[in-house]
Amino acid sequence: MGTGNERLKKGRIARMLGYGILTVGLYAALFTSQGTVMLYFTKGSLFASLPIFTAFLVSFAHGGFTNYFWQVMGIEASKRKIQRRQDQKQIVEREQIRPQLRLRV
């Protein structure tokens, strides 16, 4: 039996391939049926939302593929915690200097 790490890696590879196939399929559908796509995308009215929806769909598929691709390659973002040192700072009240209008003749 495989270890948990191998199963996790196989799952990531499967998801990467799934999102990759989905991305290639979406791009292929857009480029092979350009005439139909342009016909509906340029109609106006509610059809004007189709390019926006398509952009979100392709972006989601491509982003999922890219995420799992980098995870399979072993590259992940660093996870550092930011600690606030606000309680160590001392608030010093300063005298507020107000600008004065001067007339030079």
Structural domain that includes position 68: 33-75
In a domain, 66, yes or no: yes
Any domain includes 91: no
The pLDDT tens digits of the residues spanning 24-41 come to 999 999 999 999 999 999
Contact 22, 31 (CB under 8 A): no
Question: Is residue 42, in this structure, part of any structural domain at all?
Answer: yes
- At 79-103, the pLDDT tens digits run 777 766 655 667 778 788 888 888 8
Beta carbons of 65 and 20 less than 8 angstroms apart = yes
101: in domain: no
Tell me whether residue 87 is in a domain. no
pTM across the whole model:
0.68
- Where are the strands (E) in the chain, listed by range? none
DSSP annotation of 95 reads P
Total number of domains in the chain = 1
Q: Please check whether residue 46 lies inside any domain of the structure.
A: yes
Determine, yes or no, domain membership for 17. no
